Amino acid sequence: MTSKSAAAAAQATVYGYPRQGRNRELKKAIEGYWKGRVTAGSLRDTAAALRRTNWQQLADAGVHEVPTGDFSLYDHVLDTSVMVGAIPARHRAAVEADSLDGYFAMARGTQDVAPLEMTKWFDTNYHYLVPELGPDTVFTPDSTKQVAELKEALALGLTPRPVLVGPITYLLLAKAAPGVAADFEPLTLLDRLLPVYAEVLADLRAAGAAWVQLDEPALVQDRTPAELNATGRAYRDLGGLTDRPQLLVASYFDRLGEALPVLAKTPVEGLALDFTGPAAANLDDLAAVGGLPGKRLLAGVVNGRNVWINDFEKSLSTLGTLLGLAGRVDVSSSCSLLHVPLDAAAERDIDPQIVRWLAFARQKTAEVVTLARGLAQGTDTIAAELAANRADLASRAGSAITRDPAVRARAAAVTATDGRRSQPYAQRAAAQRAHLGLPLLPTTTIGSFPQTTELRTARADLRAGRIDEAAYERRIEAEIREVISFQEKAGIDVLVHGEPERNDMVQYFAEQLTGYLATQHGWVQSYGTRYVRPPILAGDISRPEPMTVRWTRFAQSVAGRPVKGMLTGPVTMLAWSFVRDDQLLGETARQVALALRDEVNDLEAAGTSVIQVDEPALRETLPLRAADHAGYLAWATESFRLSTSGVRPDTQIHTHMCYAEFGDVLQAIDDLDADVISLEAARSHMQVAAELAVAGYPREVGPGVYDIHSPRIPGADEAAALLRKGLEAIPGERLWVNPDCGLKTRGWTEVRASLENLVTAARTVRAEI
């Protein structure tokens, strides 16, 4: 095909769509089913109606080929485990008794059986259920769900494209089942898995699928030669089948890199590539391999995971270049629209001018369709859309919201010394010891105390106007008094106020910072029926007034021991929000850091001697490719230091992270230059402490001795044993005693007993050194 006829044939599609429905109908139906209020039949009806609405919306918008099979009652990776028959032994009876209940048992566990482990889907905030495989795994095909959803779409007269998690990504995301040696490599099961995919593909073909999309996002990460070989083999095998639909291998979230030439050489009929952000490198890479002659290219030019409108001219220029590089070019979102909210038009509280800068799933769909039309029929056919797009981009670029001269001047004036404490650690440590007068093995907690129903009700009452601000504040003060008095009685050394006033550790700050937007309906699936509404970093960030000083000061006024100030760090503020796409992440992080720096300094001025800046997202925000790590870690650590280095040497800076394995960020943790770091460690028997010691970490460490992810109360002996283990790695002068993480999800009864035991353990072990 010439590039002109390739253009004329350009079509619009997306890789997947949000599942929840306008009013989160899916969440309500599923949770209703769990509570026994909704029947299985009615849950299935709701799900089918949502799929129909989604497809109809896509088709009405002008999408030519609709994705099917991407819908899920919980998670698409779990659906893939069902499709290939990888049901863990412990769940088999439940699945055989009732496939729906068995499915939810795998997702959530039951009283007697543990669920599958859950973890983050690449660098998004979506979580999938980790497949559990072993050398004895037997795969059996079950194409029921895929075939049924395909047929539903066909019955509506649509052109469906079933979406499956590809076999390589499926295996690379899997881990050794319990009881299987941890070094078991699931990819060794590829030969057993491929025939199952072959059968599913044949079933889909028989049911009427012309194309099937196989998602292989794992290929945008650094892969070993063996993994690349396996990839080539898998797609040569599947491509060599006679009874199959045409195959489209989809990649997203980053550039395909070395996997691109491998896939290009296989007989699959199409590839989908991401051309947004750093993945735009796919364009040069594609040219370098000589394009995809005779193949279909799905060009992901509309960013599927941020909330901003597309730059049509830029996309059309990319698409124009791509026309010469493939047999057929279609236009798509860069990934499934699962990662963005449904409809920006529902946001009535956001300034209509700003709403015009936003594109959620519906708006992104319209963008894809417009671009495909422009490509196929000429840009004069989209003249009105182009003009509107140009005007909206100009309005955003020129707005006082996105360009605050004071914020920009301050960020530009930052020097290296601003990001450095005035004294080196050893001197600071001595000053802090003198100032704080803490015992050996000081005890503390990570910040939050139980978020009780009463607290949530008080917040809802305030929002609904049932109570006034003063009544709400009295309620919070009462809670703080209780939290402080409990900690003092329990004998904890460094106290916290308990964070009762915070709905969420990011949202609470986002609501108070200028430049952040909150949405009313911007729900995005985090996992299963849990949806979050990430705030939007829309403009330059500034802090109109102190955010936490009032409550910290109040807590200190009723406490006889130091109360720790509690803030969320710049990396986490970015990681759990939608970020700007019109400036480097590091610039946004620097603006947030400067706002936090003022807060840290204000806390110190208000008499706070210990200030914790949480960075639980430091590691999860690591770019997918190792080559990009250093650049990220440079701005990430710089922004943390910028927020924390304006204090006196005798003010102690803490940080906290919720993970037990951090080999790849060890150096970065050192670069934060925090005086004390607390980490998750209880389940891994203080392994972090050992790793830090081996790496020569010079500062103070609080490896958690209380696993807060379980309602179980750790005994004092157990905590003491963990502390002794910690002491093998970290000397007593530098070891802290604390739980793994905040206590907001726990109940008071467990928390009371657990913390009392923790103090007893600290006292016992103190006496031994």
Query: What positions carry a catalytic annotation?
Result: 709
Query: Which region, judged by CB under 6 A, interacts with ligand GLN, from 113-121, 283-291, 302-310, 741-749?
Result: 741-749
Question: Site residues for ligand GLN, window 565-594 (CB under 6 A)?
Answer: 566
Q: Which is nearer to ligand GLN, 257 or 742 (CB)?
A: 742
DSSP at 283:
H
What does the CA dihedral 522, 576, 336, 215 come to, rounded to 10 degrees? Answer: -160
Please tell me the count of residues contacting Zn ion according to CB under 5 A.
3
* DSSP strand pairing (524-527 vs 292-302): unpaired
Q: Which is nearer to Zn ion, 102 or 616 (CB)?
A: 616
Q: Which is nearer to ligand GLN, 6 or 705 (CB)?
A: 705
Q: Which is nearer to Zn ion, 298 or 658 (CB)?
A: 658
Using CA atoms, how far apart are residues 309 and 355, in angstroms rounded to an integer?
Answer: 10
566 binds, among Zn ion, ligand GLN, none (CB under 5 to 8 A by kind): ligand GLN
Query: Which region, judged by CB under 6 A, interacts with ligand GLN, from 35-43, 328-336, 443-451, 555-563?
Result: 443-451
Q: Is 742 in the site for ligand GLN (CB under 6 A)?
A: yes
Which residues make beta-bridge pairs with 524?
A: 532
Q: How far is the CB of 678 from ligand GLN (least distance, A)?
A: 9
Q: Which is nearer to ligand GLN, 656 or 699 (CB)?
A: 656
Q: How far is the CB of 555 from ligand GLN (least distance, A)?
A: 14
Query: Which region, judged by CB under 6 A, interacts with ligand GLN, from 116-124, 211-219, 311-319, 736-744?
Result: 736-744
The values of phi and psi at residue 621, to 5°, are -85, -5
What tokens were used for 758?
Answer: 């923790």
What tokens were used for 95?
Answer: 């699945």
Identify the residue among 14, 741, 759, 762 touching ligand GLN (CB under 6 A): 741
Question: Site residues for Zn ion, window 495-554 (CB under 5 A)?
Answer: none
What tokens were used for 247?
Answer: 């195959």
448 binds, among Zn ion, ligand GLN, none (CB under 5 to 8 A by kind): ligand GLN
177 binds, among Zn ion, ligand GLN, none (CB under 5 to 8 A by kind): none
Query: Which region, judged by CB under 6 A, interacts with ligand GLN, from 446-454, 534-542, 703-711, 754-762?
Result: 446-454
Q: Which regions of 80-190 does DSSP assign to beta strands (E)? A: 118-120, 127-129, 132-133, 160-165, 175-176
Q: Which is nearer to Zn ion, 497 or 553 (CB)?
A: 497
Identify the residue among 368, 653, 658, 761 touching ligand GLN (CB under 6 A): 658
What b/e string do you get for 667-679 counting C-beta neighbours within 10 Å, with b at 16 or more? ebbbbbbbbbbbb
CB atoms within 10 A of CB 536: 26
Identify the residue among 366, 575, 660, 741 touching Zn ion (CB under 5 A): 741
Using CA atoms, how far apart are residues 235 and 266, in angstroms rounded to an integer?
Answer: 6
Q: How far is the CB of 504 from ligand GLN (least distance, A)?
A: 10
Q: How far is the CB of 171 from ligand GLN (least distance, A)?
A: 31
Q: How far is the CB of 274 from ligand GLN (least distance, A)?
A: 29
Q: How far is the CB of 125 from ligand GLN (least distance, A)?
A: 13
* DSSP strand pairing (66-68 vs 12-13): unpaired
Query: Which region, judged by CB under 5 A, interacts with Zn ion, from 112-120, 523-531, 735-743, 755-763?
Result: 735-743
Closest Cα partner for 364 from 81, 759, 13, 720? 13
199 binds, among Zn ion, ligand GLN, none (CB under 5 to 8 A by kind): none
Closest Cα partner for 587 from 636, 522, 621? 636
CA angle 87, 88, 92 (to 5 degrees): 70
Q: Which is nearer to ligand GLN, 13 or 572 (CB)?
A: 572
Taking every pair of C-alpha atoms in the chain, what is the biggest distance, in angstroms? 82
Query: Which region, judged by CB under 6 A, interacts with ligand GLN, from 241-249, 440-448, 597-605, 641-649?
Result: 440-448
What tokens were used for 537?
Answer: 């970093």
Q: Is 501 in the site for ligand GLN (CB under 6 A)?
A: no
Question: Site residues for Zn ion, window 636-695 (CB under 5 A)?
Answer: 658
Element (H, E) at 616: none
What are the Cα distances from residue 613, in Å, to 427, 499, 572, 607, 719?
Answer: 21, 13, 10, 17, 25
Using CA atoms, how far apart are residues 212 and 290, in angstroms rounded to an integer?
Answer: 25
Q: Is 534 in the site for ligand GLN (CB under 6 A)?
A: no
Burial degree of 139 (CB within 10 A; 0-12, 13-18, 19+) = buried
Using CA atoms, how far apart are residues 214 and 206, in angstroms rounded to an integer?
Answer: 18
Q: Is 744 in the site for ligand GLN (CB under 6 A)?
A: yes
Question: Site residues for ligand GLN, window 596-625 (CB under 6 A)?
Answer: 614, 616
Closest Cα partner for 664 from 701, 612, 618? 618
Q: Is 448 in the site for ligand GLN (CB under 6 A)?
A: yes
DSSP at 705:
-
Q: Is 446 in the site for ligand GLN (CB under 6 A)?
A: yes
What are the Cα distances from residue 586, in Å, to 141, 178, 580, 581, 631?
Answer: 46, 40, 11, 12, 9
What tokens were used for 417?
Answer: 């010394």
Query: Which region, judged by CB under 6 A, interacts with ligand GLN, from 11-19, 131-139, 284-292, 445-453?
Result: 445-453
Burial degree of 476 (CB within 10 A; 0-12, 13-18, 19+) = buried
447 binds, among ligand GLN, Zn ion, none (CB under 5 to 8 A by kind): ligand GLN
Q: Is 613 in the site for Zn ion (CB under 5 A)?
A: no
Please tell me the count of residues contacting ligand GLN according to CB under 6 A.
13
Q: How far is the CB of 143 from ligand GLN (least distance, A)?
A: 40
CA angle 67, 68, 71 (to 5 degrees): 110
Chain residues binding Zn ion by CB under 5 A are 616, 658, 741
Chain residues binding ligand GLN by CB under 6 A are 446-448, 499, 505, 566, 614, 616, 656, 658, 741-742, 744
